[in-house]
Amino acid sequence: MQIYLDSANLDDVKKANDLGVLDGVTTNPSLIAKEGVPYTKRLAEICKVVSGPVSAEVIATDFDGMLREGLEHSTIAPQIVVKLPSTLDGLKACKAFSDRGIKTNLTLCFQPLQAMMVAKAGAFLVSPFIGRLDDIGQDGMQLIRDIRQVYDNYNMKTLILAASVRHSNHLLHCALSGADVATCPLKVITDAMKHPLTDKGIEIFLADYKKAFG
């Protein structure tokens, strides 16, 4: 499973990239707004650090606006993936970008039929939001499993990008459920390498070595 960082913080991007496991980055208008920097400037800065796909979300909600913004984003760097909402206009824009050879990430997906439709329109990525479904009492991970089955049934090539990943247990079950990619905050990535028995084992090894050799 590929790991993307869900952040627009440049320090976090650099830290995640230095770990050697980062495959890409996802951003959105809310994340970039928190940084207080111009939208395109931050996207360009991230693309200088990360060689993998970087999702750049449009602000527009209509087809013409999505097309205009997406084409502008696509000129920032070769690895830019235009991020579109899973709506009718987003679906139409997805097909338009696919016909131009521009990769897309269809975001805010909450049901398998949305995922099926955007795959038919040529989406590179689809982003089901597992955490937000959990928040309203639904099983977000079941959405990943359902999309996986639909895509496998028809050999659809769109990659399933599990989004709204809140903790390491989410990350584990994304891998078990067959997600192609999981995008998450830096803390979730670093927590994947933590276990109290690992820490305890290191303490014991060091204590034994010190006792024997000083």
Q: With 0-12 CB in 10 A as exposed, 13-18 as middle and 19+ as buried, what is 34?
A: exposed
SS3 of 87-104? CHHHHHHHHHHHHCCCCE
Quote the CA–CA distance of 138 and 30 in Å, as a whole number.
24
Quote the CA–CA distance of 103 and 52 in Å, as a whole number.
12
Q: In sequence order, what E strands does 141-184 have?
A: 159-162, 181-184
Residue 83 among the catalytic residues: yes
Q: Which of 48, 83, 157, 194 is catalytic?
A: 83
Residues annotated catalytic, as ranges: 83
